[in-house]
A and B are shown apart, each in its own frame.
Chain A
Amino acid sequence: MTARQTETLTINVGPQHPATHGVLRVLLDLEGEVIVGCRPVIGYLHTGFEKTMEHRTYHQNIVFPARIEYLATFIEECAYVLAVEKLLDVAPPPRAQVARVILMELSRIASHLVWLGTSVLELNVTSGFFYCFQAREPILDLFEMVSGQRMMHGYIRIGGLAWDLPEGFVPRVRQVMEALPRQLDDLEAMLTDNLIWRRRTEGVGVLSAADALRFGCTGPLLRGSGVGYDVRKAFPYSGYEQYAFDVPVGTAGDAFDRYRLRMEEMRQARRIVLQALDRLPSGPWIVDDRKVALPPRPELVRSMEAVIHQFKLVSEGLHPPPGEVYHAVESPRGEKGYYLVSDGSNRPVRVRVRSASFNNLQALPVMLQGHTMADVVVVIATVDPVLGDVDR
Chain B
Amino acid sequence: MDAGALAARVQAHLGGGQLERVEFRGEVTVIVPADRVLDALEAVRTAPGGPWMLTDLTAVDRHPAEPRFEVVYLLTGLQPPVRLRLKARLPGARPVIASATGLWPGANWLEREVYDLFGIRFEGHPNLTRILLPDDWEGHPLRKDYPLTEEPVQFIGHVPKVPSAIIPTSPPRR
Contacts and interface: CB of A to CB of B under 8 A. Distances in A.
A319 B106 contact: no
Interface string B62-102: 10000000001010001001010100000000000000000
A55 B56 CA distance: 23
Contact of A350 (B54, B60, B106, B162): B60
B1 interface: no
19 contacts: A43-B130, A43-B134, A46-B132, A52-B148, A56-B163, A56-B164, A86-B25, A215-B104, A216-B104, A227-B78, A316-B167, A317-B170, A323-B24, A324-B27, A337-B74, A341-B60, A343-B172, A345-B169, A358-B113
A318 to B, nearest CB: 9
A216 B133 contact: no
Contact of A337 (B55, B109, B169): B55
A216 B170 contact: no
B104 A214 contact: yes
Interface of B: 24-25, 27, 29, 51, 53-56, 58, 60-62, 72, 74, 78, 81, 83, 85, 104-106, 108-110, 113, 117, 130-134, 141-142, 148, 162-164, 167, 169-174
Contacts of B106: 214-217, 359, 362
B174 A347 contact: no
B167 A229 contact: no
Interface in A45-90: 46, 48, 50-52, 55-57, 60, 86-87, 89
A325 B25 contact: yes
Given A43-B131, A216-B55, A391-B132, A362 B27 contact: no
Interface string A17-29: 0000000000000
B163 A46 contact: no
Contact-residue size bin, chain A (C-beta under 8 Å from the other chain): 35 or more
A7 to B, nearest CB: 24
Q: Which 3 A-B pairs have the closest CB atoms?
A: A344-B172, A234-B81, A216-B106
B173 A319 contact: yes
Query: Most B CB atoms within 10 A — which of A50, A323, A326, A391?
Result: A326
Query: Most A CB atoms within 10 A — which of B74, B133, B174?
Result: B74
Contact of A346 (B113, B132, B134, B169): B169
Contacts of A86: 25
A335 B83 CA distance: 13
A55 B163 contact: yes
A353 B130 CA distance: 18
A89 B132 contact: no
Contacts, number: 123
Contacts of A229: 78, 81
Given A46-B132, A87-B25, 12 more contacts: A56-B163, A60-B163, A214-B105, A319-B173, A324-B27, A339-B72, A344-B173, A345-B169, A346-B167, A358-B110, A359-B110, A362-B108
Contacts of B163: 52, 55-56, 60
B170 A319 contact: yes
B87 to A, nearest CB: 9
B51 to A, nearest CB: 5
Contacts of B109: 358-359, 362
B151 to A, nearest CB: 12
Contacts of B29: 324
Given A42-B131, A43-B133, A234-B81, A349 B173 contact: no
A235 B77 CA distance: 11
Given A60-B167, A315-B167, A89 B25 contact: yes
B172 A317 contact: no
Contacts of B74: 326, 337, 339, 354
B36 to A, nearest CB: 22
B25 A323 contact: yes
A321 interface: yes
Contact of A43 (B81, B132, B174): B132
Contacts of A315: 167
B115 to A, nearest CB: 13
Contacts of B130: 43
Contacts of A55: 148, 162-164
A352 interface: yes
A179 interface: no
Contact of A347 (B25, B85, B164): B164
Contacts of B110: 216, 358-359
B83 to A, nearest CB: 7
Contacts of A391: 132
Contacts of B60: 341, 349-350
Contacts of A344: 171-174
A308 interface: no
A235 B56 contact: no
A60 B60 CA distance: 21
Contacts of B55: 216, 328, 335, 337, 354
